[in-house]
Amino acid sequence: MKLKGAEILLQCLQKEGVDTVFGYPGGAVLPIYDALYKSEIRHILSRHEQGAAHAADGYARATGRVGVCIATSGPGATNLVTGIATAYMDSIPLVCFTGQVGTSLIGRDAFQEADITGITLPITKHNYLVEKTEDLARIVKEAFYIARTNRPGPVVVDLPKDVMEKEIDFEYPEEAINIRGYRVVKGYNSNQVITAVDYIQKARRPVIYAGGGVISSNAAEELRELAEKRKIPVTTTLMGMGGFLGNSYLSLGMLGMHGTRYANYAIGECDLLIAVGVRFDDRVTGKIDTFAPHARVIHIDIDAAEIGKNVEVEVPIVGQVKEVLAAINQRLEAIESEELNEWHETIHRWKEEYPLRYGDSSEGRIMPQHVIEEVYSLTQGEAIICTEVGQNQMWAAQYYHYKHPRSFLSSGGLGTMGYGFPAAIGAKIACPELPVVDIAGDGSIQMNIQELGTAVQYRLPIIICILNNHFLGMVRQWQGLFYGGRYSYTDMSHQPDFVKIAEAYGAIGRRIKEASQVREALEEALKVKDRPVVLDFWVEREADVYPMVPPGGSLMNMLGGD
């Protein structure tokens, strides 16, 4: 069967199970868009390539499948870079197709040429420049294999225009993938599992520290079994939210810079730390010398490079988190222990003394935490919550109780402002039956607000909750705490009218200034089924996120929340 390169590309995507791609057309990808015109694959037209990358990322996080996006050459490709880096830092499987000038023009500074494989080398798991149409199918198959296996991540495939236009005889390569130097991790060290079980059986003050690896490995059920079998308290990272039931009596909530006091105290006092699918980043550990100072550490992760990178580990176990936890559970005895009871009493006392709490507004405005609590109250954890980055992100992590994996989508590693709303579009496309709420700041929503056009075009009922404090809130908070209150260029008093912006795009907009109107506004928004709703909540201008561990400080020395 003779096919053009662009048609081969779409055939390969269908073989990989792709039903939806996110993208933005341009000259170098015109052959692909011409082929898409009659394809069964659904294309979602974003308003900016960065939006397409984040939407594909949101689709991947919500489903566990590989997200796919397309951009043209040059500026189209470079506009993907922030989205690719975001996915890379959070280990999200993406395959990004970029257009490229014809092969005869590469390296000649042709119109809209950019060396996207060179640019994305440090922020991709792998990337390809396809030089011959004959190599295309193999490369696409490899790209999906690499993106979804081992530690997931983004792969870029750069497609010169003439490679897409050339017609060749096509037959899909059915042979197994064999990539030199790349092997999928299988199994685990059984002796290390036996040692880990022994440590867990003997621990008197154990804590599980769970991260995004639990979710990407679909290991939430195995984690729950481990925790409940030995009644081990569980704290999650930002990326691990939803990996363990947020309102369980064993849940400690989030740890780290804006973690709960009781989670951070538990880390400081535990004698065994079971780290599952985590990377010990600085926002979690604070001052590394004082992190879990009394604990033996078991670290389970698919990526051997993460083990021992930041924290000394006594029991390293490289393998799929789901398989390793299942093996531990199989050997672990469920026994009662007086020492464990004492540990639980201590944690219970901390929870009673230091609950998450906030005061009233000094300005008569809405407290931002109150908005999050009402979103939870109305959805009861049966929604997908996306966030931008900053204070809104931390309040969404602290005050919403996540029940399910893949229900909290946020840029944890790169901290990308402008991520939440386009990610919400991807999540809503993937899960149309679930409410999808984007928790945003007034600064971050403006970074990709043009995607309102996308959400309206595809009739996506996403709720965008802007916690509008007329500040770049988290930067202002740091300026207040560490720079003598000099709010250098963080005041955003001059704001656009978000209600009018929403209406201009064809969405619904509403401004809420009274706390008494918060619940009713959310209730009305949840009834809308055919378009996005922008809720502009005017919140306390100088509300801070507490508790807070100062940068580089010890987890035991938190500010606020006491």
Pairing of strands 2-4, 167-169: antiparallel
User: What is the Cα–Cα distance from 172 to 491, expressed in whole angstroms?
Assistant: 57
In angstroms, how far is CA 191 from the centroid of its own chain? 33
Question: Quick check: is 49 catalytic?
Answer: yes
Helix (H/G/I), strand (E/B), else coil: 283: helix
Pairing of strands 67-71, 94-100: parallel
Please pick, among 7, 11, 22, 49, the residue that the annotation labels catalytic. 49
Per DSSP, the residues of 225-274 read HHHHHHT--EEE-STTTTSS-TTSTTEEEE-STT--HHHHHHHHH-SEEE
Query: Residues with Cβ < 8 Å from 182, sequence gap 6 or more?
Result: 146
Residue in 111, 53, 39, 58 with CA at minimum distance from that of residue 82: 53
Neighbours of 560 (CB within 10 A): 14
DSSP alpha helix (H) spans, 298-430 = 321-331, 338-353, 368-379, 391-399, 420-430
The amino acid that residue 177 corresponds to is: I
Residue linked to tokens 């109150």: 370
Helix (H/G/I), strand (E/B), else coil: 138: helix
Cα dihedral across residues 437, 442, 443, 447: positive or negative: positive
Please pick, among 14, 111, 345, 513, the residue that the annotation labels catalytic. 111
Distances (CA, A) of 99 to 17, 38, 121, 150, 180: 22, 20, 17, 27, 26
User: What is the Cα–Cα distance from 128 to 118, expressed in whole angstroms?
Assistant: 10
What tokens appear for 200 in the block? Answer: 């867990």
Please pick, among 4, 125, 141, 161, the residue that the annotation labels catalytic. 161
The H or E element that residue 315 is part of is strand 315-318
Question: Quick check: is 112 catalytic?
Answer: yes
Please pick, among 241, 367, 474, 548, the residue that the annotation labels catalytic. 474
What tokens appear for 71 in the block? Answer: 């951009």
Please pick, among 112, 457, 495, 517, the residue that the annotation labels catalytic. 112
Residue 187 gets which letter from DSSP?
-
Just list the catalytic residues.
Answer: 49, 111-112, 161, 474
